[in-house]
Structures are given as C-alpha cells and as structure tokens.
Structure 1
Amino acid sequence: MPPVHLVLASASPARLALLRAAGIEPEVVVSHVDEDAVAADLGTDDPGELVAALARAKAGAVASSTAPGDRPTLVLGCDSLFTFAGTTWGKPASAEEAVARIRAMREGEGVLRTGHHLVDLGAGREVGGVEATTVRFGPMTDAEVDAYVASGEPLRVAGSFTLDGRSAPFVDGVEGDHTNVVGLSLPLLRRLLADLDRSVTDLWAAP
C-alpha cells in the first residue's frame, strides 16, 4: 500500500525538515492565511487559543483547495507563538525589535506554544491540539545578540530564536518536547493521527 499522503500547510523549512527526519515526505502547500484577521476575529489574546485557531485556519484553507486524489490524504496546519514575561510574540517585525526581545530574554525563560490541526480529506474528520514547551535561555553579550540578529535567523522564527540554528548554543534547556520548539511536535502529531485511527508509520515514505 502507498503511504498516506500528507500535505503540510506551512512554508517553514524547519517543519519540513522535522517531518523528513521522521521518514515523512510531505507535499508543501502554503495557506496564505491572513493571520491578523484570524486573530482579530478570535477576539482573545490567549496564546493557546490563538495558535490553535491559526493552525485550524491554515489547515482548513489548504484542505478546501486540495483534492483527495487516489490515496488517503491528510492536511496539517501549524502555528507557533512565544510568551515571555506575559507578552506573546510571533516573528519580530524588524532587526531592532529582535535585538530588544533577545536582550530581554537572556538568562530568563518563556513558553513556546505550537498549534496543530490535522484534516482527513477522505473521512471528513479533523482534530487539533496545542503543545507547550518551556525554554530557558543562557547569557548572551550585547555583541553576541548583535551578531545573531545580523545573521537574519531571528527574523524568520517565532520568538526570535530556534533550537535548530545559531541560537541553539544560547538555550540552556527545555522542559517538554524539543521538536515543538523547532516548530512541530512529532509526539503530538502521533497522538492526533491516532485520534483519526492512523499511525505515524502510515505516513512513512518507502525506503
């Protein structure tokens, strides 16, 4: 039997790399969802509710334009936000904002939340969930912050940091699932698949 076809409704190279490392070769279809409009319609600042709504909107947008084809097809949407000292951040809008955030975060800790939403096109079923991971940061000098921001990496990721790039040496530890911090919780994906009567092995590409 051919593997179940997974469509990843995200442009994130980190999410794609996580899935590939886990033996899954998804099709990537970017949703182009207006995240600000989704947040405005939701009417809450709760980060867990917001990432869940954004993941659901992205999966739904791609699912509505995707034909099931000749094999079972699932659509996965994800969205991440980082909460630090009571403030929730997505990607920084500028290098200056990234510098200010990182200087505030050093030697502190925050929570990275990722919403996941999975749609089974053939069965007409969908499930979702949110994973939260606590991240502890080590010290960074002003020169190290400036060098990191100059690399451009923090402008592309929620919270202005990532565990799979140049900021990894400055993360002293995480409490919870580390793949969630990268952008997609593989254990949560496994549980969502089980809710749809699927196994993660159903998605594995042929050797």
Structure 2
Amino acid sequence: MRLVLASQSPSRRMLLEQGGVAPILHPAHIDEDAVIAEMRGAAPADIVVALARAKAEAVAGEFPEDVVIGCDSMLLLDDELLGKPHTVEATIERWKQQRGTTAHLLTGHAVVHRSEWVTETVRTAIRFGDVSDADIEAYARSGQPLECAGAFTLEALGSWFIDSIDGDPTSVIGLSMPFLRRCLYRFGLDASDFWE
C-alpha cells in the first residue's frame, strides 16, 4: 500500500518526504475555475474541499488499494478567496493589500482509501508583516510566491514576511500532517506503515 499525492506541489511532497514517506506523485489535472464556478455562493471552506476532492477523484480510480490525497489552498482575505497570483504584478498588488493584516489560509483536504472518504478544511490565521514596497517587489521578482496560494510561503524568502501564524504550520505549507494521521487511523492504518 502506498500514499498517492494528487498534486505536483514540491511543498506537499517535501512534507511527506520529511515525514518518512516516499509518495507516488500523480498530479491531477482538473479545471479549477469550473469547480469554483459550480460552487458559486458556497462557503469558502466548502470550495477548497471541493477542489481537493476533485483532484483526488481524478486519480483515485488508478490506485484502488492505496491512500490518495488531494489538497487545495486559498487565502481568505476580506471575505474574498484568493488563489495563486501567477504574475509578478499580481503578487505585488496582493502583497500591498495584505501587508500588516491578518488573513486565513484555508487548506482543503480530501483523502480516500478503498472508497472511504475523509474531507476537511484546515484554517490557519496568518499575520502578515508590514513589509516595505522594496521588499514586496524583490520578493515578487524572486518568483518564489508566484505559484503559492496567498502569494507567500513560510519557508525560504517568505520567512522574512510572516509575523506569526495561529494554527497548523504543515497545513500552511500545503498538507496537514496531523489531519493525514487522523485519516490513516480512521482507515485502520498507522502513519508508520508508510515510513521508508
């Protein structure tokens, strides 16, 4: 039995590898915009879970005996769900909006094993530093935050700009390891079953 990650996220892969697991990487290719449009008017936590489940469902059929994990993260800032900025310009604009504020990173999780599903959204408060314009521009131009939900990471250059978090740090990185442990227990498995 294996852990299958329906993601190409290097951060999620890193968390599993640091936790002793060599995951099978099988990125899901879904139309995220279509899922979000279908969920219009739904609670933000439900939207990120729907995205996570769509990813897990896209690959679960190929791994019927394994544990398949789908995740999706978005930042909830001023009641608006924000995903990856993708461009330097959008990252700069986002950081000017969020600096000095507190927002919530929502990470939806969907884990399936032998047709049994466990889903949950993990919510973590992020207190952004009051960052200078020069640092915002330099961070954006580094490329590091462009493909990250909320335009930030806790690691690497982003570590300079997050004053504090209240919640699960692994969820902010992209995959709640405590949540995954609870899922495995629910399936009658142990985390150590997957250690190399």
TM-score normalised to structure 2 length:
0.95
Partner of 1:8: 5
CA-CA distance at 1:164 after TM superposition: 1.7
Pick the aligned partner of 2:43 from 37, 41, 46.
46
Partner of 2:123: 132
CA-CA distance at 1:43 after TM superposition: 2.9
CA-CA distance at 1:45 after TM superposition: 4.5
CA distance in 1, matches of 2:149, 2:159: 14
Q: 1:93 to 1:73 in 2, by over 3 A?
A: same
* Greater than 6 Å deviation, 4+ residue runs: none
- Quick one: which amino acid aligns to residue 47 of structure 1? P
Q: Percent identity?
A: 42
Structure 2 residue ranges without an equivalent (≥5): none
Pick the aligned partner of 2:27 from 25, 30, 53.
30
Whether 1:86 and 2:79 are equivalent positions in the alignment is yes
Pick the aligned partner of 1:160 from 151, 155, 165.
151
CA distance in 2, matches of 1:180, 1:124: 24
What is the number of equivalent residue pairs in this alignment? 196
Partner of 1:146: 137
CA-CA distance at 1:141 after TM superposition: 0.7
Pick the aligned partner of 2:53 from 53, 56, 76.
56
Structure 1 residue ranges without an equivalent (≥5): none
Secondary structure of the structure 2 residue equivalent to 1:115: strand
- Quick one: which amino acid aligns to residue 83 of structure 2? G
Deviations 1:4-32 (A, max 9, x none): 30110001000000010011110100110
Whether 1:203 and 2:191 are equivalent positions in the alignment is no
CA-CA distance at 1:173 after TM superposition: 0.7
Partner of 2:68: 75
TM-score normalised to structure 1 length:
0.91
Conserved? CA contact 1:44–1:50, under 8 Å: no
